[in-house]
A and B are shown apart, each in its own frame.
Chain A
């Protein structure tokens, strides 16, 4: 696994869940569980660091997805976005962001 790729996946999911500056515990937990399931060696510190970086960066969802282009992981990315964002109910903004991920990645599946 390329560890940077996982960082970007975390950040894409964070974009969807943290659309308005906050990621809830339930969302964070769902995100982490899915990541660990897929990448058991991804360290927790790295996960935390990726989330901290996400809040400090000004990059948009498109920018992160761009870095994941042709990674062949599109179904996983969509899945993690969907499951983590809906961990505590999907609100309108999250839904729009999720839609955007699906649109951008969907055309690449």
Chain B
């Protein structure tokens, strides 16, 4: 007869697996923010308190909080069934985020919480202890211990709220060893701020508005569609009914680079960022999950740089969309791919139009011919022979100089610094200034000729 043996995972090795789920620091913090939002927090503060021997990170909210019993239950990994239906607006799914996100960044997780009418409570996961005891031993602090906690920020005045504390940070030693912790922390926090401003931008304005801050500096939303910039174009949109609500699709075309305001442009990664981040913006319950890229539905191209397709998905579709624990990746179901394809052509086409409209002078111009050879798919840039100015010169100069000039012009075209132009056009198109080149040339030639004359 067969029998069963207890083969539950060894806590010591299980915890190692959980620490390696592959969060980045910003995506791990985002998982904590998800919980605060779901708990109806209006103010979410991230702090890294100075003056301690070891660096630390706290995420503090004024949401509903947890009772002591709820806290203990919620500190368990997999405290909720992933297949349970969740309320609209609940950003959770797996009952794991709080723990797995924390363990990916810190070896010690303390959660302090207070629910209305309940006492302040706190529980601690310490990986060092889990490893040394080889057991899932959760430490519960008593009320006095909580109140005396050196990192406590959750005021006793507040009716309710939660503070998540990360200590023994593992996210800091990954980077450059020569830098001190504070410098690394400062750069991590600034990167984190940008990530939150983009991924939670829908929670920073409008009816969902909440306040987010890092070390008391308020974060401002980054709108990836630049909807409030002059020159922005709104495109087609559609609502698809599905299980648990609607999938909403909106298309956007950003303004031309030249019309983009400097600050929003910088915040979206400059012109390079704009080109690279064209594509699909997929939101799950208003939180951005996928920021750009066409996910195989279209090709990233210079001309499509301004095209954006926004897709809003309810969490009821998590299974179909294969949402992962980190909420940082998902897969498009085949049906959605088909539907989305219909929406791509229009913004891409319009992006091309906006893009080339501004570049129109480049196209038909008296000095350059753009030769596109359809058959061998080549393009060449040639100096135009139809230029009156050039023809006048040819009429007056002697034969010998004619061939010299032709040779020179040919070389000029052959040596066009195409790669450099391409690079600069995509990185910082607004830095390019061709207006004073004639003066510069004149000056350079004059001074050279002058020098030669003197030498003679």
Task: Let me know if B241 and A51 touch, CB within 8 A.
Answer: yes
Select the stretch in B20-28, B219-227, B242-250 that faces chain A.
Answer: B242-250
Question: Which of B238, B239, B335 sits near A21, CB closer than 8 Å?
Answer: B335
Q: Is A56 an interface residue (CB 8 A)?
A: yes
Chain A residues 1 to 33 lying within 8 A of chain B, measured CB to CB, are 18, 20-25, 28
Q: A91 contacts which chain B residues (CB < 8 A)?
A: 338
Task: Let me know if B243 and A21 touch, CB within 8 A.
Answer: yes
Question: Which of A24, A51, A56 sits near B339, CB closer than 8 Å?
Answer: A24
Instruction: Indicate the member of B241, B334, B338, B339 with the most A CB atoms within 10 Å.
Output: B241
Chain B contact residues: over half helix, strand or loop, or mixed?
Answer: mixed
Q: Is A55 an interface residue (CB 8 A)?
A: yes
Task: Let me know if B238 and A22 touch, CB within 8 A.
Answer: no
Task: Let me know if A25 and B244 touch, CB within 8 A.
Answer: no
Interface flags for A40-58 (1: CB within 8 Å of B; 0: not) read 0000000000010001100
Q: A55 contacts which chain B residues (CB < 8 A)?
A: 241-244
Q: Is B412 an interface residue (CB 8 A)?
A: no
Give the Cβ gap from A31 to chain B, nearest Cβ, in Å: 10
Give the complex CA separation of A55 and B238 in angstroms: 19
Q: Is B333 an interface residue (CB 8 A)?
A: yes
Give the complex CA separation of A55 and B240 in angstroms: 13
Give the complex CA separation of A94 and B23 in angstroms: 41
Q: B186 contacts which chain A residues (CB < 8 A)?
A: none
Interface size class of B (residues with CB under 8 A): 10 to 19
Interface flags for A46-90 (1: CB within 8 Å of B; 0: not) read 000001000110000000000000000000000000000000000
Q: B240 contacts which chain A residues (CB < 8 A)?
A: 22-25
Task: Let me know if A56 and B243 touch, CB within 8 A.
Answer: yes
Instruction: Indicate the member of B239, B243, B339 with the most A CB atoms within 10 Å.
Output: B243
Chain B residues 307 to 366 lying within 8 A of chain A, measured CB to CB, are 320, 333-336, 338-339
Q: B339 contacts which chain A residues (CB < 8 A)?
A: 22, 24
Q: A51 contacts which chain B residues (CB < 8 A)?
A: 241
Task: Let me know if B335 and A20 touch, CB within 8 A.
Answer: yes
Give the complex CA separation of A18 and B246 in angstroms: 13
Across the two chains, which residue of chain A brings its CB closest to B240? A22
Task: Let me know if B239 and A25 touch, CB within 8 A.
Answer: yes
Instruction: Indicate the member of B239, B334, B335 with the most A CB atoms within 10 Å.
Output: B335
Task: Let me know if A22 and B239 touch, CB within 8 A.
Answer: no
Question: Which of A18, A24, A56 sits near B238, CB closer than 8 Å?
Answer: A24
Q: A18 contacts which chain B residues (CB < 8 A)?
A: 241
Q: B335 contacts which chain A residues (CB < 8 A)?
A: 20-22
Residues of B within 8 A of A (CB): 238-244, 247, 320, 333-336, 338-339
Q: 4 closest A-B pairs (Cβ-Cβ)? A: A55-B243, A20-B335, A23-B241, A22-B240
**What are 5 contact pairs spanning A and B, CB under 8 A?**
A21-B335, A23-B242, A24-B238, A24-B241, A25-B240
